[in-house]
Amino acid sequence: MLRAMTIVPLLLAGVLILESVAPALGGQQPQQRRESASVELIGVNHHGRERRAQRFDTDRLRSLVIQVGWRTLVGMHTQRLELITPDGSVYQTLTQPVASVTGTAVVETYLPVAGTWITEYGLHGRWTVNVYLDDAVKPVTSAEFTFAK
Amino acid sequence: MSFMNRSHDALKTLRARLTMTLLSEPVLRLLASLMCVVAGFMCASPAWAAVAFRSASSVNLNGSALTLTINLPAGTVGGDLMVAGIVVRPSSATITAPAGWTLQRRQNNTNPNDLSLAVYYKLAGTSEPASYAWTFSTSVGSAGGISSFSGVNTSTPINVEAGATTGATQTTTFDHPGISTTTANTMVVTHYSYSSSDRFTPPGGMTEAFDVASLAVANAGGVSIAQDYMLRAATGATGTLTSTAASNADVGSMDALALAPLSCGAVGNVGYAAATAQSGQAIVYWSSGNAVLVLRKASAFAGETPTNGRVYVAGDAIGGATVAFVGSAASFTQTGLANGTTYNFRVFPYTTGPGPCYATGAGSDLTARPVAAGNEAWSYMLAGGSVLKPPITGDGGTVYFSGNAGRMISLNTSDGTQSWVPPATTAAVQGYLVWTSFSSGGSFVLAGDQSGRLYGVDATNGAIYPVALTGADAVQAGISIQIRLYSNAAFAAAYSGAYDVVIATTSNTTGSFTTNNKVIALRTDTGAVVWTFNPCSPACTQNVDQIIGEPWVDYARNRIYVTSRAGASGNQQSLWVLNSLSGAVVTSFALGHISTAPTQSWDGNTLWVGNENGDLYAINLAPATPVLKWTGPLALGSAARLKGYVWEDWISGRLLFSTANGTVRCFQDPGAGATPSAAAVCSGWGAVSTAVAGATTGVLLDHLYVGSWNGTIGQVVAIDPATGVAGTPFTVGDGTRQVGDLGTETGGEIFVGTTEGKVFKITLPLP
């Protein structure tokens, strides 16, 4: 609690800054805040070791960690990941809450790989992960990676 | 490449983590909320629909007619607010407005040369008439017009309003004292009228919507009226609003009002969306507490969304899409579709009062491709994830399946329509579903999901009963069940009561995930655990890696055969023979990583199981302690590892199975003590295998039907089990999606799912 109280003055200062840069509505439909985020992909092998890459051998992969780094995120939101298979289908959608007062946050999502349909049906090739915020239909960012044998 | 070791601490066991730099999540959430409140910052920013002038329509030179007929402003659409200004002389005239118009103000000026200004508004519907007629009890002159505005708050369209007159003063300068708005982003609309016929100059900053008179200008007789508008971002007083007439000073009446903008908060999207495609039509399903608008397009959506504040009807165009349905329902049938065309659907819930305010449509993208009557009977798609395990049959005429979208689905097999609203699971379901009639009554569908929960769904109504499994963070394999009705006396002695026993397995992904997996037996009546194999509390009794294949229940011996991976070293035990009455280990085998399900022979004495190294093992189940049946495995090489499970043909010991390198293989069990040969060819076959690109686990009927994917086209292939000859492939849907395993209900059809989340019913025989 003490830690929270010490942060409040900083928080309020941040609020003032944010207010000063917030776009005036000017009678127009306000623009949706355009958040900024990046994606890191980390493969976890059967020994629990991790490796950052864009290409992964599914025979050696236990799971894939999709790490999204938010840079300009304020407030409480929902992050939605959409995983697209090489044939262009939505394989799975994964959601998690995300919140920040500093603007930055990192969210890690585990996608199981070993023993899943990815290995069972050999869903090998170029995948895409689209990152959405809340109910948006346009992704904030996307990243590609490869599942290979 | 460098590897980084991470500690296996408690954080590691969390499947999803939030990594914050300064604060724990509860404090962070508190402060985030505080920030939103203090700053008014748009944490969940409402969308403001800017009020906009659309068009105006007015009547000039109406003279002293007793009717003033004004056309509907061009381009007016449902949800627009229409504002009408009518002026008539004398002020004592009775004004009768057309139906549906609300009088905002009647501003009489009863001084010499008296006149009356009347201001009305009306919310446009979706089928407005071409014109509106105002009638007067008497008239020596009238004029008026209508303007349409979009983006207006439909519940409280007028923020503030005030009338004014010149009194007895005859003038060409008309000063309205102004209004003071209380909300931002209003549209200020003014009306000026006077008892002469001439033109007005609008107040500074305002735009003239219409400016008409009852007589040709300039004329000291008759009446004139002008309407002006301007957007106003700020709140507060406008100050005096002055308009001037060109000549012929006279008395006048004025009005100023501010239209409030429509403000839309976040509107929740659908809980689920699904579609069944039939010949010439598609049935679209959804769940929402609000009414919905459904868009349809014969190509991929390109950002088409309904506009807040606009009311649509079916048939309206939004960009390249068409509004297919508007209303409160849980489904609708879109008829008149072209067979062979893929239609995209997206569902937008909306709220009203004010509104309509539309959701984004996220998570509701569907495709439906009707086809003419033929082998493809119907297809069904649930938005949100792949379906690669086929539907399983239940009570007559119904099949059940699930997938990565996390819903349990029941379909009428005759037409692909939903039996009930599919209940949600917490995470993806990737194992086979199991339908069963409980010995104590009732029919249920069982499944486990990737959150470590077991589900029982009442097959009659879709009611779902979740059970969180202790020590499980994911269930990958299908659920097994030992049914009392078919079990022996030993089962009845061990489990007194009327319940059956459900067997769930784990495929943990966190913690000591190569050793901490479990087999959990639960009662069907209460969900209570009757035993856990490898409970790992306080310590694991065995090292059990992920369990991926569905366990096999041996009713005659009260055993459960469970396969698993073999740990990080690959040397752990991976075939477990458990006593189904106690969970005790009868025996176990170290057969390498196994991700397939075991299969018991028709005679009950052999168990076949294939590992990830391409080895097929046979286990002799006849001894009290099962042993390996052959001198070694059928070694096919890791590229040719077995997929799914094996089918035993009607020729005893003759096995059919798919391999990961794209073949369907036949192999005759050589018998106990024999050495299997990978070169052995089944009698009647010309080779050891038949090539089928991307062969999936098939279903053995009159033929062995398997799915196929060559990277470009998804098909089903029928293979004659007697000869190994493959028939002409049948393309599934439009063929663009990878297909999964196959299933059947009656043997007269097959079911197959795809990565797109679509399931097809294909009637047999194939052409």
| Contact call for B19 and A106, based on CB within 8 A | yes
| Contact call for A29 and B48, based on CB within 8 A | yes
Write down the domain spans for chain A: 35-148
pLDDT at site B176 = 98
ipTM: 0.89
pLDDT at site B46 = 54
Name the 3-class secondary structure at B484: helix
| pLDDT tens track for A51-76 | 999 999 999 999 999 999 999 999 99
What whole-number distance in Å separates Cα of residue B341 and Cα of residue B380?
15
Taking only residues 585 to 644 of chain B, the set having a beta carbon closer than 8 angstroms to any beta carbon of chain A reads 595, 612, 643-644
Phi first, then psi: what are they for B552, rounded to 5°? -110, 130
Domain A35-148 bears CATH identifier 2.60.40.1930: yes
Interface test with chain B among A28, A117, A118, A129, by most B beta carbons within 10 Å: A117
pLDDT at site B651 = 82
- Nearest by CB to A29, from B25, B38, B47: name it: B47
| Contact call for B28 and A100, based on CB within 8 A | yes
Task: For residue B292, give every residue at least 6 positions away whose Cβ sits within 8 Å of its Cβ, in sequence order, or none.
Answer: B270, B286, B325, B326, B327, B328, B329, B347, B348, B349, B350
Strands (E) across B195-223 are located at 200-201, 207-213
In contact, B363 and B286? CB cutoff 8 Å: no
What whole-number distance in Å separates Cα of residue B207 and Cα of residue B210?
9
pLDDT at site B353 = 86
| pLDDT tens track for B741-761 | 999 999 999 999 999 999 999
Taking only residues 14 to 33 of chain B, the set having a beta carbon closer than 8 angstroms to any beta carbon of chain A reads 15-23, 25, 27-33
Here the tokens at position B679 are: 């070169």
Lowest mean pLDDT among A16-20, A28-32, B661-665: A16-20
Taking only residues 346 to 375 of chain B, the set having a beta carbon closer than 8 angstroms to any beta carbon of chain A reads 359-363, 365
For residue B277, the distance in angstroms to the closest alpha carbon of chain A comes to 18
Strand order in the sheet with B200-201: B173-176, B241-245, B200-201
Q: What string of H, E and C letters represents the secondary structure of B340-399?
A: CCCEEEEEEEEECCCCCEECCCCCCCEEECCCCCCCEEEEEEECCCCCCCCCEECCCCEE
Strand order in the sheet with B758-763: B331-334, B281-286, B273-278, B376-382, B758-763, B749-754, B739-743
Q: b/e for A51-80, b at 16 or more Cβ within 10 A?
A: beeeebebeebbbbbbbbbbeebbbbbebb
**At B549, which amino acid appears?**
G
Q: b/e for A107-128, b at 16 or more Cβ within 10 A?
A: bbbbbbbbbbbbbbbbbbeebb
pLDDT at site B607 = 98
pLDDT of residue A2 exceeding 90: no
Q: Tell me what the pLDDT averaged over chain A comes to.
A: 82
Strands B376-382 and B585-589, sheet pairing: unpaired
For residue A61, the distance in angstroms to the closest alpha carbon of chain B comes to 11
CB of B424 within 8 Å of any CB in chain A?
Answer: no
What pTM value is reported for the model? 0.89
Here the tokens at position B589 are: 């085998």
Phi first, then psi: what are they for B240, rounded to 5°? -65, 135
Class of domain B268-368: mainly beta
- Taking 50 as the pLDDT cut, the residues of chain B under it are 1-45
| Contact call for B18 and A106, based on CB within 8 A | yes
pLDDT at site B636 = 97
Partners of B245 in beta bridges: B200
> What Å distances lie between residue B622 and B554, B573, B648, CA to CA?
12, 21, 18
| pLDDT tens track for B428-457 | 999 999 999 999 999 999 999 999 999 999
Write down the domain spans for chain B: 48-263, 268-368
Partners of A25 in beta bridges: none
CB of B6 within 8 Å of any CB in chain A?
Answer: yes
In contact, B687 and B724? CB cutoff 8 Å: yes
In contact, B643 and B624? CB cutoff 8 Å: no
Size of interface A-B (CB pairs under 8 A): 220
Residue listed under structure tokens 């579903």: B433
> What Å distances lie between residue B435 and B35, B64, B200, B554, B723, CA to CA?
51, 81, 79, 18, 34
CB of B476 within 8 Å of any CB in chain A?
Answer: yes
Give the pLDDT band of residue A33 (cuts 50, 70, 90): low
| Contact call for A101 and B404, based on CB within 8 A | no
- Is the dihedral angle over the CA atoms B71, B73, B79, B80 positive or is it negative? negative
CB atoms closer than 10 angstroms to residue A86: 17
